[in-house]
Structure 1
Amino acid sequence: MVQGVSLSTLATCGKSRIYCSSHSWMTPFEPFKRSHIESATGKHVVWNKCVQSLVLIGYPCVSRQRSCFKVKAGWMFRGGEQGLDASVEQSESANEDILMFFFQLDLATRVQCALNMEEYDIAQQLRSKLSEVEEEVTKQQQSKRGMSAKSEAQDKAISIIRLRSDLQSAIENEDYALAAKLRDEISKLEAESLAASAKALAHENAQYVFRLGQKVRHKLFGYRAIIVGMDPVCSESNSWMENAQVKKLPRGSTQPFYQVLVDVRAEPDLLVAYVPEENLLIPDKPDKGRFDHPYMSFLFYGMDSAGDFIPIKQLREKYNKPRHEIPFDPPTDEDGGNA
């Protein structure tokens, strides 16, 4: 059975909910194209004709037109000269990544529903669209995790081998002008290959302090959040990094960055943030308090005994992370004697 969480069965969270028409999976597909994605802090998200009414209805207080819920400014990045508020770490690309993940889950569920209803033609169309989405998501994940850099280094290494063969032929034919040109190209490619290999190695050896589902607190802005994704280095645009003053961070852009869901009761204007590792803290005591966010029921099974959330299997597979097991403390001899 294809495992997935249907968007139509999502539990509501506060005044926000994600829903879709109950039988939209039965409608034949037209060519795959995502027609429109708006900010999660806007009123709604409408996807392509594949899913007729995948809609995100935002919290009324999250709407950008509602000025009464603006986040207060004045927090400072350590070492920064300009006051920054929590909204500088808001990430549209991180939110889009999560929504695309929802889309994958929904398509997988619709495939299974179509098979159960013996609608095999529709199931085939759905499966085809799911393959397209998964292929695109895989490319994005490989790019974030340094796989593209690794492939680039391999391609350059192959090119260097070919150029060295050409160089040997040029020397044997006493074509020294061509040989000099080939030497220059080889030197350039060797430098590029070394840089790409170093980048790929840095991605492969990335160590994360935090894990999926873990509750954290922002060191500067103070809000509570939950880890839902991670990158070995900052994968945001240059404009985003400039706005967030990433260069002023002690560890810069080469540290791990995390996609986090922010408790909307504390930060109603900030659903998804992209936060550097150095700006996150683990609570001193287990945080078992209420946490509100419209994406929670998509991504987690529930809360564990330590107050963190248990990520669904598909989310763990997305980041190739094992299930976190809470340490078991066996009873001591004294406890056993008292018992």
Structure 2
Amino acid sequence: MQGVSVSSLAALASGGSCRAVSLFKDYLKLLNRSGINPMVDGSCFGRQCMLRLYSINTNRARRLDSRIGATWLFSGGGKKMDASIERSEATNEEIVVFFFQLDLETRIQYALNTEQFDVAQQLRNKLNEVETEIIKQQEAKRGSSRSEAQDKALNLLRLRADLQKAIDNEKYVVAAKLRDEISKLEVESLAASAKALAYENAQYAYRLGEKVRHKIFGYRAVICGMDPICCESSSWMGIANVEKLSQGPNQPFYQVLVDVHDDPNLLVAYVAEENLSATEKPDLTRFDHPYVSFLFYGTDTTGDFIPIKQLREKFSRPRHEVPSMDTQDGNEDDNI
């Protein structure tokens, strides 16, 4: 059986949608040769996900990207800006890998249920590769983990000890170089510690599955992911003009699915917390997006979406319980 290599998955993290489409093709070979089709009526989870994810023509996406740059240069700003400036290929590809992981888990269980143990083992090996690569991508996305901050702190101690030895031995040229290295590393260490602290103590105004509205562009969206700080590339932040935000990149950023009726070309965006607002009243109106059936069970009584367990675990978010609607009635009974 032929599968997807780790290098193919690694390309997803830094490449565009073309590389993800290449992964999709390799994955189809894996599915076709495995002979496993656990979904009802012959439908394939992975096929549906990928076909929906890449239904937008790549050339059209490139034209939109070109238009983004012109928008920032020549528009007057504010509501005249193009919402596509917040389109995120990285977020889109992260969802692809998440779908891929879910589908492999489903197929492994199906293979075990049908006693196809050899196939299940081969699929499990592929799942291990995918999960390993996901961990690497998460660490790269986080940028500065606690271990990195600790490593920089240890390097500082070592450099300071070397500096003292150089001074004691009257090697002042070496001491000057070490002093410059220490100054640079102190800045990096402070930034690493700040980012690690941000990940550990992140506070979010919005939750997974919550319906929100963009303050500038006005479209409706639903939260499908979150980061304590902006984890996009510097080039993306330049296009999105993140430095002009009142809180800059050091605020929560959300992966959102955009209602196709509001903007059929955007689909997935990466939005700063300050640019989102919650609905004042329960939003029970229809929300259409090709990804919602895979990421959410459905909607609750307030109209917000209910995230699947795997999505909550991915972002370490607790299950949201809808407040009881009969609290007020109970108070009235007490008063009576």
Say whether the fold is shared (TM-score over 0.5): yes
Change (3 A) 1:257 1:305: same
Residue 57, structure 1, aligned to residue 23, structure 2: no
Q: Is the 8 A contact 1:30 1:50 kept in 2?
A: yes
Matched, 1:278 2:252: no
2:21 aligned with 1:47: no
**Are the structure 2 counterparts of residues 288 and 125 from structure 1 closer, same or farther at C-alpha, using a change threshold of 3 Å?**
same
Structure 1 equivalent of residue 204 of structure 2: 208
Correspondence for 1:294: 290
Equivalent pairs counted in the alignment come to: 305
Q: Residue 277 of structure 2 aligns to which amino acid in structure 1?
A: L
Structure 2 unaligned blocks of 5 or more: 32-45
Which residue identity lines up with residue 209 of structure 2 in the other structure?
A: G
C-alpha distance 254-30 of structure 1, shift in aligned 2 (>3 A): closer
Match of 1:114 in 2: 111
CA shift in 2, pair 1:163/1:279, >3 Å: closer
How far is the alpha carbon of 1:280 from its aligned partner?
Answer: 1.0
SS, match of residue 236 in structure 2: helix
Q: 1:13 aligns to what? A: none
Partner of 1:98: 95
Are residues 1:142 and 2:139 paired?
A: yes
Which residue number corresponds to residue 230 of structure 1?
Answer: 226
Equivalent AA in structure 2 for residue 265 of structure 1: H
The 3-state SS of whatever aligns with 2:147 is helix
How does the TM-score come out when normalised to structure 2? Answer: 0.77
**Structure 2 counterpart of 1:259, which letter?**
Q
| Cα separation, 2, equivalents of 1:46 and 1:297 | 22
Displacement of 1:267 = 1.5
Residues 146-191 of structure 1 show CA distances to partners (whole Å, capped at 9, x for unaligned) of 5x34332211222223334444554565555544544443343233
1:84 shift after superposition: 1.2
Aligned partner of 2:150 in structure 1 is 154
Q: For the residues of structure 1 that align with 2:184 and 2:55, how far apart are their CA atoms?
A: 54
Name 2:251's counterpart in structure 1. Answer: 255
User: Does residue 1:221 correspond to 2:195, yes or no?
Assistant: no
> Aligned partners of 1:81, 1:307: CA distance in 2, in Å?
29
Mapped to 2, the partners of 1:222 and 1:45 lie a distance apart of 34
Is the CA contact (8 Å cut-off) linking 1:300 and 1:312 kept in structure 2? yes
Q: CA–CA distance in 2 between the matches of 1:326 and 1:320?
A: 19
The one-character-per-residue Cα deviations of 1:55-98 (angstroms, maximum 9, x if unpaired) are: 4335999557889xx9x99x99xx93793122221111111111
Does the 8 Å contact 2:298/2:305 carry over to 1?
yes
* Residue 19 of structure 1: aligned partner: none
Render the CA deviation track for 1:171-222: whole Å, top value 9, x for unaligned.
5655555445444433432332123212322333332111000011111222
CA RMSD of aligned residues (A): 3.6
In the alignment, the residues of structure 2 paired with residue 208 and residue 224 of structure 1 have an alpha-carbon distance, to the nearest angstrom, of 19
In 1, are the aligned partners of 2:4 and 2:23 still within 8 Å (CA)? no
Structure 1 alignment gaps of length 5 or more: 1-26
Paired AA for residue 29 in structure 1: G
Deviations 1:31-68 (A, max 9, x none): 44538979789xx786152443744335999557889x
Offset of 1:307 from its aligned partner? Answer: 0.8
